[in-house]
Amino acid sequence: MVRTDSSNPLLSAVEGSTPRLPDDDVSPLELWSALIIRKTLILVVLLISLITAGLFIFFTPSVYESRAVLQIGQIGQIGHIEPPAVVTKRVVVQDDIDREKTAIGRVRPFIQTAFLEKDTNLISIVARGPTPDATQEYLAHVVARVIHEHQKLFDLALKEQQQSLNLIQMHGHRLNQAIAANEKELSILARRPANDDAIAALRVNFSQEKSKLLEQRRLAEQRQLDLRMAMSALRSKPTTLIKAPTLTADPVKPRPLLYFALAIGIGLMLGIFSALVIEFISKTRRSTSS
């Protein structure tokens, strides 16, 4: 067995040349002391982060947002003038087409989103743009275009329903004339001898015909009632503007408070991390040199 005592010069030389590693255990007090010593570094990193955020805010163009709400109209017995889901998709697609026609490099308002409010026939349309006036004007144009298109469809549907109502009324008038003629014939037959078989057969035929005419008139009257109800203000409504284009109080971009808060958080984390890394390197070098 080989003994390793300090009397052996070779072993002593080897032990003396081996560096001692720093202790891995670091107390919170040592960390705090390291941060206090390097507080200048932390403040410098924090200041750089704040300056970067300030420059980003300064050079970022302002973006304004406006929102409008439409209530999709409906026509009785038909339903919505245009399915709300189709309207939301069409508004966005039309905006994309308009932007493709815009000169390259020109900043213009655009539709940010269009969505259907849950369990309603209300559509919210949100536009964004570089200036408040341009954003308001563009959203008003988009809304007016939808309302104009729906109004044409609404008027056309009402016109067709009115034509159907006129035809049914004419049919009802002819039925009334036929019923009146039938009753006149029956009154004439009623004065004929009751024991005449031919007269009795005619009475039966005219009675059956009258029953059919009365049923047809009942159906025509019911159809007229249904159409009038469908055309009433309760069942048929054009697309209307529930909420006019309204701007937010402040631009949605940039957001100084949010960006500065993020800058402070990121700056402090980077500063503290840098201070701890430098302290670890310094401690390692001191331990190695000793």
As a whole number, the mean pLDDT across the chain is 86
Can you read off the two tokens belonging to residue 4? Answer: 């390793």
Mean pLDDT of 77-98: 90
For range 193-204, the mean pLDDT: 78
Look at 271 and 5; give whichever has higher pLDDT. Answer: 271
Q: What is the pLDDT of residues 138-190, one digit of tens each?
A: 999 999 999 999 999 999 988 998 999 999 999 999 999 999 999 988 888 88
Under 8 Å CB-to-CB from 161, ≥6 apart: which residues? Answer: 75, 76, 77, 227, 230, 231
C-alpha torsion sign, points 209, 213, 219, 220: positive
Span of 13-27, 116-130, 142-156, 199-213 with lowest mean pLDDT: 13-27
pLDDT at residue 41 is higher than 70: yes
Question: How, if at all, do strands 74-75 and 110-116 pair?
Answer: unpaired
Contact present, 242 and 121 (Cβ < 8 Å): no
3-class DSSP assignment, residue 266? helix
pLDDT above 60 (res 16)? no
Share of the chain above pLDDT 70, in %: 89
Q: Which residue has the tokens 């988009």?
A: 142
Confidence of residue 194 (pLDDT cuts 50, 70, 90): low
Please check whether residue 268 is in contact with residue 43, taking contact to mean a CB–CB distance below 8 angstroms: no
Sequence-distant (≥ 6) Cβ neighbours of residue 50 within 8 angstroms: 260, 263, 264, 267
Q: Which secondary-structure segment (H or E) carries 242? A: strand 240-247
Query: Alpha-carbon distance 28 to 45, whole Å?
Result: 22
pLDDT tens digits, one per residue of 42-85: 999 999 999 999 999 999 889 999 999 999 999 887 889 999 99
CA of 217: how far to CAs of 42, 77, 208, in Å? 92, 21, 14
Residue 13: pLDDT band with limits 50, 70, 90 = very low
The predicted structure's pLDDT at residue 14: 41
pLDDT, residue 290, reads 64
User: In the block, which residue shows the tokens 């006149």?
Assistant: 184
Are 47 and 270 a contacting pair, CB within 8 Å? no
* Beta partners for residue 143, in sequence order: none
* pLDDT given for residue 191 in this prediction: 80
How many Å apart are CA 65 and CA 108, to the nearest integer?
A: 13
pTM higher than 0.85 for the full model?
no
Cβ-based neighbours of 257, under 8 Å, separated by 6 or more = none
Residue 67, C-beta contacts closer than 8 angstroms, at least 6 positions apart: 124, 125, 126, 127, 139, 243, 245, 246, 248
